[in-house]
Chain A
Amino acid sequence: MAFTITCPICGPRSGYEFRYGGEDKGPRPDPAQMTPEAWCDYVHMTDSRPGVQKEWWYHRAGCGTWFTIYRDTTTNLEVAPDSPETVA
């Protein structure tokens, strides 16, 4: 957590100010349209692939915003959103 995270409101800050909110899995689907298994997958399953992922963070010690960043899980460092690695 020694890395910094760029909050869209407050700018780059120490990772300790944030709470991790998991990989970005897209908007909440309609459970009525899904099998229980598919819903369970949406809630609990993650890709956990090494490399750049889009993920959620909450600035809990700061402005209280949920936002996404791109981060390389092999280096623990944030990757600029416009860098080529962010294209999944």
Chain B
Amino acid sequence: MKSDNRLRQSPVQLPGRVLRTRVRDHWPVVCAYADEGDGPWLVDLSHCHRIDLQGKPLGAMIPESLPEPEAPGDVRIQDMTMITRMGTAQGCLWRFGQAPAVTVGVNGTAITEATLALAILGRHTFAIAEKLSSLDLRAPGRRLPRLHQGPFARVPCQIVVLDAVPGREMLLLSCSRGYGRDMVGAITHAGAEFNLRPAGEDRFMGMWETVTRGLSYE
């Protein structure tokens, strides 16, 4: 039996009324929720492609057209692709929006299914984060975007701070998929006092373009 209406399931269900959905590679991707408010927002990005890269030297494992983050914690962004460096010989490649999956060699492992991905956006993003993590996500003198690896809501996470400028705060988070329900619960609970609301992918992509436009690494 072949069916065209097969759907995948995200590890994350956000508590909001869905306004518009589009299906991408069998993922039902929420574009917008009703009544998203004016921030902060929580966005499910679990459908975005994520590829773990390991090998020495790491640069050799990154597809040729893409930039290499040089030191652990560095993040490089090119169009819809983000590459984080997790260690001397490990990195992670993210693809956002409509960007198709990239092909990587045998040193790449698709981990989209292994993890969940969330974004917290907009004002009070870091006020929410400091209720859940003791990591110093906005240490001065550190260039953004930057990767932090450590506990968030007690769970080991990969956290990318994309921007911290008021009005364009962007924080990406990924951890083991199984934590989906409890992680959303923890963030929602911490964000309640700031009126955190679920938002669709469109909200994320809009901010992504604003924040990543003109990023330079010189």
Contact = CB atoms under 8 A, between A and B. Distances in A.
B134 A10 contact: no
Interface string A12-31: 01100100000000000000
Interface string B133-157: 0100000000000001111000010
B167 interface: no
A45 to B, nearest CB: 32
B150 A61 contact: yes
A62 B149 contact: yes
B136 to A, nearest CB: 9
B175 to A, nearest CB: 11
A60 B156 CA distance: 8
Contacts of B87: 9, 63-65
A64 B98 CA distance: 32
Q: How large is the interface on A (under 10, 10 to 19, 20 to 34, 35 or more residues)?
A: 10 to 19
B218 to A, nearest CB: 24
A63 B151 CA distance: 11
B73 interface: yes
A64 to B, nearest CB: 8
A60 B157 CA distance: 11
Q: How large is the interface on B (under 10, 10 to 19, 20 to 34, 35 or more residues)?
A: 10 to 19
A62 B90 CA distance: 13
A9 B88 CA distance: 8
B86 interface: yes
Contacts of B97: none
A17 B72 contact: no
Contacts of A14: 134
Interface in B100-133: none
Contacts of B86: 9, 63
Contacts of B134: 14
Contacts of A63: 72, 86-87, 149
10 contacts: A9-B73, A9-B149, A10-B72, A10-B150, A17-B150, A60-B156, A61-B156, A62-B149, A63-B72, A64-B87
Give 5 closest A-B pairs by Cβ, nearest first. Answer: A62-B149, A9-B72, A61-B151, A63-B149, A61-B156
Given A10-B72, A60-B156, A65-B87, 19 more contacts: A9-B73, A9-B86, A9-B87, A9-B88, A9-B149, A13-B150, A14-B134, A17-B151, A59-B149, A61-B150, A61-B151, A61-B156, A62-B149, A62-B150, A62-B156, A63-B72, A63-B87, A63-B149, A64-B87
Interface of B: 72-73, 86-88, 134, 148-151, 156
Interface of A: 9-10, 13-14, 17, 59-65
